[in-house]
Amino acid sequence: MTPSIPKQFLAPITFLFAMALAACGLDLGLAPAFAPTPTLALIPTPTETPVPPAVSINGEDISAAEFEAELARYQQAQASLGNTVSLETATQAVLNDMVNTLLLEQGAAAYSFVVDDATVQSRIDALTAQVGGPDALAAWESAHGYTDADFRFVLRRQIAAAWMRDQIAASVSTTAEQVHVKQILLYNADEAQQALGYLQAGWNFNDLAAQYDPVTKGELGWFPRGYLPAPAIEDAAYALQPGQYSAIVQDEAGYHILYVVERDPARLLSPDALLTLQERAVQTWLTQRRNESTILFAP
């Protein structure tokens, strides 16, 4: 059985759907719970008049009606959280999420993964019990602008997208080359240069790091490539062998002097590091899939 990605990782992709579900405390296991949102104004059901697509992805359309309904849910959910989001920002967030979800669904289909009616019905049955019966679920769907068919369609897509994310996450090894690093972090160039001079004069790195930071003693711990948000720090650390220290590395946090304590070619990843690498794997997959796809936006 493929292991599921931890729920907090799934939030960026299922954000829109999850915020709507959270209004009644519904949890599909696809995303984390969000703060409850108030009942939304009823969104008119689209007529049978053909609506031009908002975007076409590899020949499969997301209609303008679908997009507008999701945009309305997103704006209402953000407002309920006290967030002020411009129309431009909201539009981009919703469109990106919908495109990503469809790409993931298409990826699942390429692996012959099919969400059958029984799977959808099983989720619907669980939600029905959770919310308090068929009438309560129908009222929730109506309040959030869903017909029953619309809700089943979105649910089917989210199940497929979640399955594809799990496959990508499962491809990330639980072990990786890692370095154990300490640092001296200073906040101006002169102090950093002075510290580097002490090291060049023969001072012990551990002793000096403890003087500058008596609490952590400069300990950064173990990390793999692709984990740190600052690539320059990571690159400098991986250029060192155990017992070596770096030149001064500057980034937004300050001026770093790094010291590699030890290296391990295949160390078990911490849960946080594994989660980060899984998230990056999904984003890399999505970026590659976007580059390979034909995506046409309506004018």
Tokens matching residue 262: 């030890």
Domain boundaries, the chain: 7-170, 177-268
Q: What's residue 7's pLDDT? A: 35
Strand partners, 178: 224, 264
Question: Which is more confidently placed, 164 or 20?
Answer: 164
Q: Angle CA(266)–CA(267)–CA(268) in degrees, nearest 5?
A: 125
Q: Using one digit for the tens of pLDDT, what is the confidence trace for 83-102?
A: 999 999 999 999 999 999 99
Q: Which helix (H) or strand (E) holds 3?
A: none
Please give the class, per CATH, of domain 177-268: alpha beta
Domain range 7-170, its CATH number among 3.40.640.10, 1.10.4030.10, 1.10.287.130, 1.10.600.10: 1.10.4030.10
- Whether the predicted pLDDT of 8 surpasses 90: no
Provide DSSP, 169-212: HHTS-SEEEEEEEEEEEESSHHHHHHHHHHHHTT--HHHHHHHH
Window from 29-33, 75-79, 115-119, 124-128 with minimum mean pLDDT: 29-33
Q: Are strands 219-224 and 295-297 parallel, antiparallel or unpaired?
A: unpaired
E strands present in the chain = 53-57, 60-63, 175-186, 219-224, 249-251, 254-268, 295-297
Residues 6+ apart with CB under 8 A from 254: 185, 186, 187, 192
For the beta sheet containing 60-63, the strands, ordered from the edge strand earlier in sequence to the opposite edge, are: 60-63, 53-57, 295-297
Can you give the pTM of this predicted structure?
Answer: 0.78
Strand partners, 179: 223, 263
Q: Angle CA(24)–CA(89)–CA(83) in degrees, nearest 5?
A: 45
Q: Using one digit for the tens of pLDDT, what is the confidence trace for 162-183?
A: 999 999 999 999 999 999 999 9
